[in-house]
Protein backbone atom coordinates (compact mmCIF):
# COMPACT_ATOMS: atom_id res chain seq x y z
CA UNK A 1 0.00 0.00 0.00
CA UNK A 2 1.38 3.39 -1.01
CA UNK A 3 0.93 5.34 2.23
CA UNK A 4 2.76 8.41 0.91
CA UNK A 5 0.28 8.68 -1.98
CA UNK A 6 -2.61 8.32 0.49
CA UNK A 7 -1.15 11.15 2.58
CA UNK A 8 -0.94 13.42 -0.48
CA UNK A 9 -4.53 12.64 -1.47
CA UNK A 10 -5.91 13.15 2.04
CA UNK A 11 -4.14 16.51 2.17
CA UNK A 12 -5.85 17.37 -1.14
CA UNK A 13 -9.24 16.28 0.20
CA UNK A 14 -8.81 18.45 3.30
CA UNK A 15 -8.01 21.43 1.09
CA UNK A 16 -10.86 20.60 -1.32
CA UNK A 17 -13.49 20.61 1.45
CA UNK A 18 -12.25 24.01 2.65
CA UNK A 19 -10.28 22.91 5.72
CA UNK A 20 -6.92 24.30 6.76
CA UNK A 21 -4.62 21.25 6.82
CA UNK A 22 -2.07 23.29 8.79
CA UNK A 23 -4.30 23.84 11.80
CA UNK A 24 -3.28 21.91 14.90
CA UNK A 25 -5.96 19.22 14.79
CA UNK A 26 -5.32 18.38 11.12
CA UNK A 27 -1.53 18.63 10.79
CA UNK A 28 -0.97 14.89 11.23
CA UNK A 29 -4.32 13.74 9.79
CA UNK A 30 -2.91 12.63 6.40
CA UNK A 31 -0.40 10.35 8.15
CA UNK A 32 -3.02 9.03 10.59
CA UNK A 33 -5.47 8.27 7.77
CA UNK A 34 -2.76 6.50 5.76
CA UNK A 35 -1.81 4.37 8.75
CA UNK A 36 -5.47 3.58 9.48
CA UNK A 37 -6.17 2.54 5.87
CA UNK A 38 -3.08 0.34 5.86
CA UNK A 39 -4.51 -1.46 8.90
CA UNK A 40 -8.23 -1.65 8.10
CA UNK A 41 -7.70 -2.57 4.43
CA UNK A 42 -4.93 -5.11 5.03
CA UNK A 43 -6.94 -7.80 3.22
CA UNK A 44 -6.52 -5.98 -0.12
CA UNK A 45 -3.02 -7.47 -0.30
CA UNK A 46 -4.35 -11.05 -0.33
CA UNK A 47 -6.66 -13.05 -2.56
CA UNK A 48 -9.00 -15.71 -1.18
CA UNK A 49 -6.51 -18.50 -1.86
CA UNK A 50 -3.81 -16.60 0.08
CA UNK A 51 -6.14 -16.21 3.06
CA UNK A 52 -7.10 -19.91 2.95
CA UNK A 53 -3.40 -20.84 3.05
CA UNK A 54 -2.65 -18.26 5.76
CA UNK A 55 -5.39 -19.49 8.11
CA UNK A 56 -5.82 -23.04 6.86
CA UNK A 57 -4.50 -24.83 9.95
CA UNK A 58 -6.63 -27.97 10.21
CA UNK A 59 -6.85 -31.00 12.45
CA UNK A 60 -7.90 -34.51 11.50
CA UNK A 61 -11.58 -35.12 12.11
CA UNK A 62 -12.19 -38.67 13.33
CA UNK A 63 -15.95 -38.44 12.75
CA UNK A 64 -17.29 -39.94 9.56
CA UNK A 65 -18.88 -37.51 7.11
CA UNK A 66 -22.40 -36.79 8.30
CA UNK A 67 -24.52 -33.71 7.75
CA UNK A 68 -25.35 -33.84 11.48
CA UNK A 69 -21.70 -33.10 12.34
CA UNK A 70 -21.54 -29.44 11.36
CA UNK A 71 -19.12 -26.98 12.93
CA UNK A 72 -20.95 -23.73 13.70
CA UNK A 73 -19.47 -20.43 14.86
CA UNK A 74 -21.83 -17.51 15.49
CA UNK A 75 -21.64 -13.78 16.13
CA UNK A 76 -18.14 -13.24 14.76
CA UNK A 77 -17.69 -9.45 14.83
CA UNK A 78 -16.17 -7.75 11.78
CA UNK A 79 -16.34 -4.38 10.09
CA UNK A 80 -15.60 -3.38 6.55
CA UNK A 81 -15.82 -0.50 4.11
CA UNK A 82 -18.35 -0.32 1.29
CA UNK A 83 -16.68 -0.14 -2.09
CA UNK A 84 -19.31 2.28 -3.43
CA UNK A 85 -18.85 5.12 -0.91
CA UNK A 86 -15.91 3.86 1.18
CA UNK A 87 -18.42 4.13 4.03
CA UNK A 88 -18.13 2.04 7.15
CA UNK A 89 -20.11 -1.20 7.39
CA UNK A 90 -20.45 -1.74 11.14
CA UNK A 91 -22.20 -3.80 13.83
CA UNK A 92 -21.55 -6.72 11.51
CA UNK A 93 -22.03 -10.24 12.83
CA UNK A 94 -21.01 -13.30 10.82
CA UNK A 95 -22.38 -16.80 11.37
CA UNK A 96 -20.40 -19.60 9.70
CA UNK A 97 -21.09 -23.33 9.51
CA UNK A 98 -19.39 -26.11 7.58
CA UNK A 99 -19.51 -29.88 7.45
CA UNK A 100 -16.07 -31.38 8.00
CA UNK A 101 -14.93 -34.00 5.54
CA UNK A 102 -11.90 -35.34 7.35
CA UNK A 103 -10.53 -31.97 8.51
CA UNK A 104 -11.59 -29.31 10.98
CA UNK A 105 -10.29 -25.77 11.16
CA UNK A 106 -8.90 -24.32 14.36
CA UNK A 107 -11.75 -22.20 15.75
CA UNK A 108 -9.71 -19.01 15.86
CA UNK A 109 -8.93 -19.50 12.17
CA UNK A 110 -12.62 -19.16 11.27
CA UNK A 111 -12.77 -15.76 12.98
CA UNK A 112 -9.45 -14.73 11.39
CA UNK A 113 -10.72 -15.68 7.94
CA UNK A 114 -13.84 -13.54 8.45
CA UNK A 115 -11.76 -10.62 9.72
CA UNK A 116 -9.22 -10.70 6.87
CA UNK A 117 -11.88 -11.07 4.16
CA UNK A 118 -13.65 -8.02 5.62
CA UNK A 119 -10.46 -5.91 5.49
CA UNK A 120 -11.08 -4.95 1.87
CA UNK A 121 -13.35 -2.56 0.07
CA UNK A 122 -16.35 -4.87 0.04
CA UNK A 123 -19.97 -5.52 -0.67
CA UNK A 124 -21.68 -7.48 2.09
CA UNK A 125 -22.95 -10.01 -0.46
CA UNK A 126 -19.43 -10.62 -1.78
CA UNK A 127 -18.00 -10.78 1.73
CA UNK A 128 -20.24 -13.77 2.47
CA UNK A 129 -19.19 -15.42 -0.78
CA UNK A 130 -15.51 -14.75 -0.04
CA UNK A 131 -15.78 -16.23 3.46
CA UNK A 132 -17.58 -19.31 2.14
CA UNK A 133 -14.96 -19.80 -0.59
CA UNK A 134 -12.06 -19.44 1.85
CA UNK A 135 -13.62 -21.78 4.45
CA UNK A 136 -14.37 -24.36 1.71
CA UNK A 137 -10.75 -24.32 0.55
CA UNK A 138 -9.17 -24.19 4.00
CA UNK A 139 -11.34 -27.01 5.43
CA UNK A 140 -11.45 -28.93 2.14
CA UNK A 141 -15.24 -29.20 2.13
CA UNK A 142 -17.90 -28.09 -0.35
CA UNK A 143 -20.49 -27.69 2.42
CA UNK A 144 -20.43 -24.17 3.87
CA UNK A 145 -23.08 -21.70 5.02
CA UNK A 146 -22.50 -18.02 5.88
CA UNK A 147 -24.94 -15.36 7.11
CA UNK A 148 -23.98 -11.75 7.73
CA UNK A 149 -26.02 -9.03 9.44
CA UNK A 150 -24.74 -5.48 9.45
CA UNK A 151 -25.37 -1.76 9.31
CA UNK A 152 -24.09 0.41 6.48
CA UNK A 153 -23.25 4.03 7.12
CA UNK A 154 -24.04 4.78 3.47
CA UNK A 155 -27.66 4.03 4.55
CA UNK A 156 -27.59 5.24 8.17
CA UNK A 157 -25.45 8.41 8.06
CA UNK A 158 -26.11 9.75 4.56
CA UNK A 159 -28.67 9.50 1.79
CA UNK A 160 -31.89 8.18 3.30
CA UNK A 161 -30.39 8.27 6.83
CA UNK A 162 -32.35 5.26 8.01
CA UNK A 163 -30.51 4.63 11.26
CA UNK A 164 -32.33 1.42 12.19
CA UNK A 165 -31.79 -0.44 8.91
CA UNK A 166 -29.81 -3.67 8.85
CA UNK A 167 -28.76 -5.74 5.89
CA UNK A 168 -28.75 -9.53 6.08
CA UNK A 169 -27.10 -11.68 3.43
CA UNK A 170 -26.66 -15.43 3.11
CA UNK A 171 -24.37 -17.71 1.11
CA UNK A 172 -25.05 -21.43 0.96
CA UNK A 173 -22.82 -24.02 -0.72
CA UNK A 174 -23.06 -27.77 -1.08
CA UNK A 175 -25.40 -29.45 1.42
CA UNK A 176 -26.47 -26.06 2.80
CA UNK A 177 -28.22 -25.18 -0.48
CA UNK A 178 -30.82 -27.93 -0.26
CA UNK A 179 -31.14 -28.64 3.45
CA UNK A 180 -33.29 -26.14 5.40
CA UNK A 181 -32.12 -27.56 8.73
CA UNK A 182 -28.50 -26.84 7.82
CA UNK A 183 -29.39 -23.33 6.63
CA UNK A 184 -31.08 -22.70 9.98
CA UNK A 185 -27.72 -23.29 11.70
CA UNK A 186 -26.33 -20.03 10.32
CA UNK A 187 -29.45 -17.91 10.21
CA UNK A 188 -29.99 -15.16 12.74
CA UNK A 189 -32.93 -15.68 15.11
CA UNK A 190 -34.99 -12.93 13.48
CA UNK A 191 -34.56 -14.66 10.11
CA UNK A 192 -35.86 -17.96 11.47
CA UNK A 193 -38.96 -16.26 12.86
CA UNK A 194 -39.77 -14.69 9.48
CA UNK A 195 -39.26 -17.76 7.31
Select from 169, 72, 74 the least CA-distant residue to 127. 169
- The question of whether 151 is a catalytic residue gets the answer no
- The question of whether 49 is a catalytic residue gets the answer no
CA 103 from chain center: how many Å?
23
Please identify which of the residues 7, 114, 133, 152 carries the catalytic annotation. 152
| Burial annotation 114-140 (CB, 10 A radius, 16+ → b, else e) | bbbbbbbebbbeebbbbbbbbbbbbbe
Please identify which of the residues 31, 82, 129, 137 carries the catalytic annotation. 82
Give the DSSP letter of residue 22: T
- The question of whether 154 is a catalytic residue gets the answer yes
- The question of whether 83 is a catalytic residue gets the answer yes
Q: Is 31 helix (H, G, I), strand (E, B) or coil?
A: helix
Please identify which of the residues 9, 19, 137, 154 carries the catalytic annotation. 154
Please identify which of the residues 19, 85, 129, 137 carries the catalytic annotation. 85
- DSSP helix, strand, coil percent of the chain (3-state; round to 5): 45, 25, 30
Please identify which of the residues 7, 114, 124, 151 carries the catalytic annotation. 124
Please identify which of the residues 84, 125, 181, 190 carries the catalytic annotation. 84
Please identify which of the residues 83, 125, 181, 190 carries the catalytic annotation. 83
- The question of whether 124 is a catalytic residue gets the answer yes
Active site residues: 82-85, 124, 152, 154
Amino acid sequence: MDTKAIERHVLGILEAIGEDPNREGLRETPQRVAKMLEEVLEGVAYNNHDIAKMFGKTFTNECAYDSDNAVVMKDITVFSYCEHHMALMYDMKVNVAYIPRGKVLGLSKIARICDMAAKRLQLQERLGQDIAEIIAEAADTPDVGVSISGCHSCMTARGIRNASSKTVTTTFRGEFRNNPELRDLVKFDEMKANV
